[in-house]
Every structure is written in structure tokens, then in C-alpha cells.
Amino acid sequence: MYIYPLNYRSFDTHLLSDELAGFIQLSLFYTNVTLGAFDIALAGTLKETAKVSSIYEYQAKRNNLLPFASSSHLSLKGNCLTFSNPITKIDLGGLVKEYAVDQSVLQLQSMGITSALINFGGDIAAFGTCHAQPWRVGVQSPDNPNINIMEVELYDSSLCTSGHSKRYSIIQSEKISHIVTPSDLSGSYSQASILAPTTIDAGIWSTAVLVNPNLVLPAHIQMKSSLL
């Protein structure tokens, strides 16, 4: 509801709610610290490439849109968001679910709950213990969902796994990952699991390392598993 008027706009400048301005500011922060690997304008603008029927059209449309697929075309001053062109779009899909998990943790804790595990489609946060033991979460194999490649213990932390195997579109028998990147994925990870203090951190960095496997992770972020 809030993003559609921004992406299909008649004006370059928009006054945002406090909440939406906060999301945009947070996304711009992560774009900076991930060196552009996480970018709501990259994801939003290049999603248009899904509306094609051939690989030739896909590649042509991607090449045309790529110069506009960057948060450098956004300017946020207070609650005022300005686009530098009519083509750039944004997508908060890599942020809002993770934010919802973190808010759920805070809500449960405010109610006096001392132990819980929250799982929103694989974005997981846990606090407290499970029957006096650490919460344990399995990381599935991308090739066989019945097999865990490892288990991770969670102590007041979050675990997110990103990969290309489960969510994708198919154009002329070619799989196109749901994770939008500025270049091809040769040499990239096929899956990465990140442990972090918050779900937003874990989710964004798990996506960012798929886009740019050469990123140096901050000290508070741990790569728990990765597959080429």
C-alpha cells in the first residue's frame, strides 16, 4: 500500500510516515555497510525483469534498468524522499519480515515471556532456553530438505539462511534467483546462514554475502555455514 505510490509515482518527492522513513533510513545504512550488496533500489528496480517471456528480453531489460538500480538515486532528508529519475523503484522485502521477527521478540518480552523461538519463514530469533537447554535450529541442505547440513545453538540471537534453491522464477527453462544481483552469480555462494544479535542483521547479511561473497563481515556477525 505504501510502496506502490512511490514506485508508480507522478512526482519525484514524497512525504513519508515516520515508520516508512525509518525503514528507508535503515535500508540506506545497510546499503552503505554492505557496500551496495543490500540495496532496496536494486531489488525494486530489477524486479521489472520478471515481466518478460524470453531470456533475450530478460537480459535486454536488465541492461536497460541496471543504471537506475541503485540507492544513489534516492535522497532522504527527514521524512522527505526524493527520486532522481522516474525509473528507480524500491522493495523492502529484504527488511520488513526480519523487522517483524525482532518486534515480536520485544513484544513477547514486554509481556513477561522469558523463553521463545520465533520463526517467520526461516527467519528465526530465540531468547531464553528450551527445557533448560539451548534452542537448536537445523540448517537444511538446499538439495534435500530432509537433511540438515548442520545445527546451530541460539542464545538470545537470530539465524537467517538465504539461498537460490527454493525461490526462483523460470524463463525459458532457466532458473532466475529471487535474490537480485547487479551481476551474474558465478563464483557466488548458493546458500549462506548468518548468526547475529538481531534478525535484521542476520537476514540482510545472509543476502549480502550471496550478492558479494568477498564482503568482510563485521565482528558481531558470524557466518555459520555456506555452500558454493
The CATH number covering residue 121 comes to 3.10.520.10
Are 107 and 178 in a shared domain?
Answer: yes
Are 179 and 102 in a shared domain?
Answer: yes
Instruction: State the pLDDT at residue 69.
Output: 95
> pLDDT band at residue 228, thresholds of 50, 70 and 90?
low
Q: How many domains does the chain have?
A: 2
Are 165 and 129 in a shared domain?
Answer: yes
Are 138 and 216 in a shared domain?
Answer: yes
Are 219 and 109 in a shared domain?
Answer: yes
What is the domain extent for residue 64?
4-83
pLDDT tens, position by position, 118-173: 999 889 999 999 999 999 999 988 888 888 999 999 999 999 998 876 666 677 67
Average pLDDT value for residue range 214-228: 88
Whether residue 76 is contained in a domain is answered as yes
Are 140 and 175 in a shared domain?
Answer: yes
Instruction: State the pLDDT at residue 216.
Output: 93
Average pLDDT value for residue range 77-94: 96
Whether residue 162 is contained in a domain is answered as yes
Are 78 and 108 in a shared domain?
Answer: no
Are 139 and 214 in a shared domain?
Answer: yes
Model pTM?
0.89
Whether residue 89 is contained in a domain is answered as no
Residues 61-90: b if buried by 16+ CB within 10 A, e if exposed: bbeebeebbbbebbeeeeeebebeeeebbb
Whether residue 126 is contained in a domain is answered as yes
Quickly tell me which residue has 547440513 as its cell: 149
Are 31 and 57 in a shared domain?
Answer: yes
Burial class (CB in 10 A: 0-12, 13-18, 19+), 198: middle
Cβ neighbours, 10 Å, residue 41: 23
